[in-house]
Structures are given as structure tokens and as C-alpha cells.
Structure 1
Amino acid sequence: MMARYNRWMNEKLYAIAAGLDEQALRCDRGAYFGSILGTLNHVMTGDVLWLKRFAGHEALAQPLALLQEVRAPSRLNDELFDDLPSLWQYRRRLDAALIEMAEIVGGLPPDTVLSYCSMKGMPVRRSLQALAIHLFNHQTHHRGQATTLLKQAGIDPGETDLLMLIPEL
């Protein structure tokens, strides 16, 4: 469900952002990552950083193979793509891979471990399922910032709650 929510929100935010001119996209609005484009890039940077780690798990290597196309970020404010169309094109592909990855992670035993190195090069071992939750929580947090930046630009992004994807019974 979180992977589908991620895709839904990204499609919504990127479609709105595509209607902005370059100045509005790049305007520093005082947010942690500056602009709307900077914030969307940070979500991508975080995703790429974590998913490259996830791709090290044998069950996830194939669905996350497209990560070989982008460099590993060295900082959390790295811009992996310097324009919205390129960012959105890769975002769509990554979101499809995230849906496939989430299905696999959901089927793994809850005690599945992911071993990786931190950005400081330190070895780490943590629950793969908990790290997947962290990934989706990180996306939600920064997309919330992006919606605030859009509001500052005079655009109401509309409904953004996960509740919109939870079917009524």
C-alpha cells in the first residue's frame, strides 16, 4: 500500500510541478532543501541511497536493477537530475520498481536482515522490513514539505492523505 501511495503522490506532485516555470521550480523558499525541485531531488536521492542498499539483498537485486543506471549519492543534498523532466522520467521507473520490491519484502520473513554500509562506511545490520518502512516514511515526510512549497507558490495540491487509497469496507 505504501508503494502505491508513493506512486500516486509522486504522479500528483510531479504533474503540478511540471506546470511551473523554471524560476518557480528553483526558487529558494527557505525549506531544508531550498526549492520544490531541490526537495523532489532529495526524495529521489534518499530513495536511490536506500534502494542501492536494498539491491544488495539477493531477493531484491533483479527488481532494483535499474539503480545501476544512476550514481550513488555521496551527500543527502546531491542532485541526481538537474531538470524536472529527467527527474520525473526516472521517478516513474523507480516507483514501478518500488511496487515490485515492496511485494517481495512483504513476503520475506519478518526477521530478514539487510547488511549494508552507512554513508560513513560503517557496517550496519538492520531489519529489512523496518528499513522499508523508514524509506516510505522518509518519502512521505519530504513530500509533505513539497506540498507546503507548492502552497507557498499559490498552488493547492489537493488531497494528499494515504486514506484516499484505503478502500472503504
Structure 2
Amino acid sequence: MTDISKPYRMMALNNAWANATLYGAMTPMEAAVFAAPRPGFFASLKATMNHIHQVDLFYIDALEEGGVGRGVYDRPLIANVADLASAQAEADMRLARLCSALSAATLAQTRQTMRPDGPCVETVEALLLHLFQHQIHHRGQAHVQLQEAGVSPPQLDEFYLDFDRAPSAEAYFNRPA
């Protein structure tokens, strides 16, 4: 029998590892450096990383059939790197738990998100795939912003393959289902 949740669980764990790795490089940053203007879709690392966190909360809430994302974007931005890293890690583990419990039936179910034009219904599978793509997209931008800040950006693509797996990814890769 195939474990339908495995690719989603592995993507969620990769996401958690990549975020932890990225935040590890940002931890020594002072608040002013974190908030300083940088090139990118969002104008600073603070704005970029808060956007990732807010969108994660929006979709996780919808996937858990909570308040379908209402109020997520009304929260103030988290200004401290350590506080945002902790909040992100909590969201990452919520997503990993959700993905660990997936079944084929759940992936085919629909969830509602609230959009400016009203409610929108999507499949669980489509929401997850979009969320993973969104995270990768904006982490790439944060990667460049980190380099622009004078911090050597970490490798974020050493998770899956035995050939080049980062030792810091081992714990995530070998977690039981």
C-alpha cells in the first residue's frame, strides 16, 4: 500500500528545515538590519519573512477548516528575528502534522478561503501544492536579501538526496510518519 501522505509530509518537513536553516543565518541580525530596505518583492527581510509566515497561517487555517484565513493579514508584523522564527517553526509543525494525516480522500476534499471578492473553494491538494510553491518562491527572495545584507546565505536545497543531504536535514528526513 502506498503512503499517499509521504510526498506532502516530506515537503512540509523540507519547508520546516529550510525555514529553520534560513532563520539560523538571520539570528545574529539586529532589528534595524532585519528591517532595512532590500531589493525584492517585499522591501526587507522583515517584510518577506512576515509575508511567508502570514500566508502559511492563512492556508493552514483554511486546511484545518478554521476561520478560513480571516484576520491573518491584520496582525502586526513581528519585528524580532527570534520571535518570528519561533512563530514560523510553530506554523511549520502544524503543517507537517496536517500533511502526516493526509489520505487520498482528504486530498480530494475542498476547503474554502476568504478572498477580497468573497469565498473561494479549492481542493486540499491544490492548496498544499500552492503553499509549498509560495514558500519556495519567497524563501529564494529572502536568500538574495540575506546576501545583500552581507550575510552568507545558507544552502536550502540539500534535503532529499543522500548524495548531498545536509547533516541538519537528517533529523527531519528520518522522522517517523
TM-score normalised over the length of structure 2: 0.76
**Alignment coverage as a number of residue pairs:** 153
The 1:111–1:5 alpha-carbon spacing in structure 2 relative to 1, beyond 3 Å, is closer
Contact 1:50 1:135 in 2 (8 A): yes
Tell me the residue number matched to 1:112: 108
Residues 110-129 of structure 1 show CA distances to partners (whole Å, capped at 9, x for unaligned) of 76222314321523222211
Give secondary structure in 2 for the equivalent of 1:109.
Answer: helix
- Residue 164 in 1 paired to residue 173 in 2? no
Is 1:98 the counterpart of 2:92 in the alignment?
no
Q: Percent of aligned positions with the same letter in both sequences?
A: 25
CA shift for structure 1 position 109:
2.4
Report how far residue 80 of structure 1 moved: 4.2
Q: Is the 8 A contact 1:114 1:127 kept in 2?
A: yes
What does residue 147 of structure 1 align with? Answer: 143
Which range moved further: 93-102 or 109-118?
109-118
Distance 1:119 1:19, change over 3 A: same
Unpaired segments ≥5 residues, structure 2: 1-9, 164-177
Q: Aligned partners of 1:10 and 1:29: how far apart in 2?
A: 19
C-alpha RMSD of the superposition: 2.4
Q: 1:166 to 1:147 in 2, by over 3 A?
A: same
Q: Which runs of 5+ in 1 are unaligned?
A: 62-66
